[in-house]
Structure 1
Amino acid sequence: MNHAPGSVVLQNIRKQFGAFTAIHDLSLTIEPGTLVTLLGPSGCGKTTTLRMLAGLEHPTSGRILIGGKDVTMLPANERDVSMVFQSYALFPHMSSLDNVAYGLESSGLNRKEARQKAENGLELVGLAGMGQRLPAELSGGQQQRVAVARALVLEPQVLLLDEPLSNLDTRLRRRVRTEIRELQQRLQFTAVYVTHDQDEALAVSDRIIVMKDGHVAQEGSPRDLYESPASAFIADFMGEANVVPCTVIGIEGDQAVIQVQDLVHRVPSRGVKVGPGQLAVRPNSVTLSPSTKADFCGRISSAAYLGDHIEYEVETDGGPLFVVDPSVERPIAPSTNVAIGFKERGIAIISL
């Protein structure tokens, strides 16, 4: 890619379909050369946002700037963006090379140059020498890479990816998401990536924007969102979390001193005040040990052995806890009373 990557700015974007508001006053800035993921459940507005960036939908109000240029009302073919669709949208009767060259030829490039660029594009995504194969002769992962090559050879300022791995099986999805991330970092293009898969978002993103009901629920680095969720929704959506009632009994610098039953623990304060609160606790951040007396106690209601870990359901006065314990050599039987502790990481105080 020879063109410089572009920034993406959305200013107070609103999108209505009749009386239904799909996007509410959305403002975002995506820095050039970064991969930013729009993540959220079905119906949260992430695909509508991507379609507005692509020019396939227009906002009801607000502005969209790509590379500093106002493209709000421009049609799709006048924006310097390329899109990789969920279905890949490859022409089944065309070879891989012809699929990749198609957009170049349509934009007026002569056939010889277009095919040379297409060859380079296929090489870029690891498919050198496979240009004569039809899409049906390629695996799902290879088809996906042809679709990425077709988008990249147009040298867009911004690459848009709409659930690009949803048609792949789990193992292939893991490999191809790594390839996409490595390609993006090597070529330094700006990418906006839509998915509902939390693992995918954590694996590929510089920044994640979690959407809910047409709003931004929280944005930040993968680590920020996983380790410091701002709400119970984010905590649960970014991987399983227990929400445990607690009391903030003091603030010491940037640490909040919290109490659960008689267990006292410290977590980053994040602006909370003394009083009742909630903890988001990752299942693998809980420790269990058989005990009849403890500062925070519970009782094992079920245990399931899953090879490299045991999953426990634990009854406590504050509600059930789901615990993932790697200590498979020391299983704890159901109906056992246990002492519950917290590890340093994976515990965050969240807003009520």
Structure 2
Amino acid sequence: MRYKGAVEFRNVVKKFGQFTAIPDLSLSIEPGELVTLLGPSGCGKTTTLRMLAGLEGPTGGQILIGGQEVTRLPADRRDVSMVFQSYALFPHMTVAQNVAYGLESGGMKPAEARERAAEGLVLVGLEGLGARLPAELSGGQQQRVAVARALVLEPQVLLLDEPLSNLDARLRRRVRTEIRELQQRLGFTAVYVTHDQEEALAVSDRIVVMKNGVVAQVGSPRELYEAPASEFIADFIGEANVVGGEVLSVEGGIARVDLGGAILALPARGLREGPARLAMRSNAARVRTAGAGVPGRVASSAYLGDHVEYEIDGPLGRVFVVDDESDTPLPVGTEVVLDLRPRGLALIPEGV
């Protein structure tokens, strides 16, 4: 199977009448990468995917797949396959017939299409279920049928549009793991659209975070989570607290930072001495009743089984903290200290 095409957007613009949905998009995706387009509703991620699929035409710029320009090619000539949010399975056809449908529509002989469909079902772990109707499968199994139907076409790029949104939370976790394992095993290029930050972190080689049609940051899941380029990224990826601090000095790329009275050493990220903003992850502090740290007072607490969630008032403002070492919530009003851990803290670069 050969699905390992590169993707490139060159200064792509998309307008709907007077509204500019995508002002100027340039983005490259390497062969064999799974790249997720992530962002809130209306950010342009689905429009970008639809332009790549040929379902929307760009107003300007170029789109290339496998080094060939496809900007004006119709969808059926782009060598891509799409997995839709709704699965789009034919209810009157068996699973095997659904998987073989695109092959036969493209002119493949029925016997060869059936053989290829059977191979596709093996790939997604559904061997032996080809004779069933879609209604006889679970939601996760139906999603795997949709993936198999796309893969048997051997596209250069597989497109996935919110593929897990119709599944419950537990099934989403399982199916996203299956999709990621399949992608890594076969090495196909995939462009994945979701609004779910956890899903994006779990499946991606790289994440493209979009805001108002513009790329806000591109990076690996770890880069985006641990080194957000802006307050928007910090809040959107992992819902960080954005707090104020003071850079006391910088030496060798390391900043000495005063954060609510606690002194920390953090990567300077281009900052100099003076006021600064930091992303503070909810798991960056442990709530203690004594010891060194940032003073505060419990504003709210909630027991959630394997952790306790707190809102703490103090010199950093009101911050949200998840403490997985506590098993009994502290009462509202309790005086506490926040024992900070540098790994969950990052300075936010200036001007973003």
1:128 to 2:121 alignment: no
Deviation readout 1:187-235 (Å, 9 max, x if unpaired) = 1000000000111101100000000100001110000011111111111
- Equivalent residue for 2:306, pick from 305, 308, 329: 308
Paired residues for 1:322-341 under 5 Å: 322-329=320-327, 331-341=329-339
- Deviation at residue 318 of structure 1 after TM alignment: 3.1
Paired residues for 1:259-270 under 5 Å: 259-270=258-269
Deviation readout 1:8-53 (Å, 9 max, x if unpaired) = 0000111000011111201100000010000011100000000000
Q: Is the 8 A contact 1:22 1:214 kept in 2?
A: yes
- Deviation at residue 328 of structure 1 after TM alignment: 2.2
- Deviation at residue 287 of structure 1 after TM alignment: 2.3
Q: Give me the whole-angstrom Cα distance separating, in 1, the residues matched to 2:28 and 2:136.
A: 40
In the alignment, which residue of structure 2 is the partner of 1:40? Answer: 39
Paired residues for 1:237-248 under 5 Å: 237-248=236-247
Q: Is the 8 A contact 2:159 2:192 kept in 1?
A: yes
Q: Is the 8 A contact 1:250 1:274 kept in 2?
A: yes
1:319 to 2:314 alignment: no
Q: Give me the whole-angstrom Cα distance separating, in 1, the residues matched to 2:278 and 2:10.
A: 34
Q: Is the 8 A contact 2:39 2:45 kept in 1?
A: yes
- Deviation at residue 331 of structure 1 after TM alignment: 4.1
In the alignment, which residue of structure 2 is the partner of 1:213? Answer: 212
AA in 2 matched with 1:80: D
Paired residues for 1:98-113 under 5 Å: 98-113=97-112
Q: Give me the whole-angstrom Cα distance separating, in 2, the residues matched to 1:265 and 1:317.
A: 16
Q: Is the 8 A contact 1:101 1:117 kept in 2?
A: yes
In the alignment, which residue of structure 2 is the partner of 1:82? Answer: 81
Q: Give me the whole-angstrom Cα distance separating, in 2, the residues matched to 1:242 and 1:184.
A: 34
In the alignment, which residue of structure 2 is the partner of 1:117? Answer: 116
- Deviation at residue 332 of structure 1 after TM alignment: 2.8
AA in 2 matched with 1:157: Q
Q: Percent same amino acid at aligned positions?
A: 66
SS at match of 2:343: coil
SS at match of 2:235: helix
State the number of aligned residues.
350
Q: Give me the whole-angstrom Cα distance separating, in 1, the residues matched to 2:25 and 2:232.
A: 19
- Deviation at residue 297 of structure 1 after TM alignment: 1.3
Q: Is the 8 A contact 1:206 1:221 kept in 2?
A: yes
Q: Give me the whole-angstrom Cα distance separating, in 2, the residues matched to 1:138 and 1:261.
A: 55
TM-score normalized with structure 2 length:
0.97
Paired residues for 1:1-352 under 5 Å: 1=1, 3-291=2-290, 296-329=294-327, 331-352=329-350
- Deviation at residue 257 of structure 1 after TM alignment: 1.1
Q: Is the 8 A contact 2:85 2:163 kept in 1?
A: yes
Deviation readout 1:92-125 (Å, 9 max, x if unpaired) = 1111111111110111111110111011111111
Q: Is the 8 A contact 1:231 1:350 kept in 2?
A: yes
Q: Give me the whole-angstrom Cα distance separating, in 1, the residues matched to 2:109 and 2:229.
A: 53
TM-score normalized with structure 1 length:
0.97
Q: Is the 8 A contact 1:290 1:332 kept in 2?
A: no
Decide which moves more: 160-169 or 311-320: 311-320
Aligned-pair Cα RMSD in Å:
1.3
Unaligned runs of 5+ in 1: none
AA in 1 matched with 2:340: F
SS at match of 1:283: coil
SS at match of 2:283: helix
Deviation readout 1:141-169 (Å, 9 max, x if unpaired) = 11101100000000000000000000001
Q: Is the 8 A contact 2:307 2:323 kept in 1?
A: yes
Decide which moves more: 203-212 or 318-327: 318-327
- Deviation at residue 351 of structure 1 after TM alignment: 3.2
Q: Give me the whole-angstrom Cα distance separating, in 2, the residues matched to 1:206 and 1:188.
A: 12
Unaligned runs of 5+ in 2: none
Q: Give me the whole-angstrom Cα distance separating, in 1, the residues matched to 2:241 and 2:145.
A: 41
Q: Is the 8 A contact 1:96 1:133 kept in 2?
A: yes
Q: Give me the whole-angstrom Cα distance separating, in 2, the residues matched to 1:288 and 1:172.
A: 33
Q: Give me the whole-angstrom Cα distance separating, in 2, the residues matched to 1:104 and 1:54.
A: 18
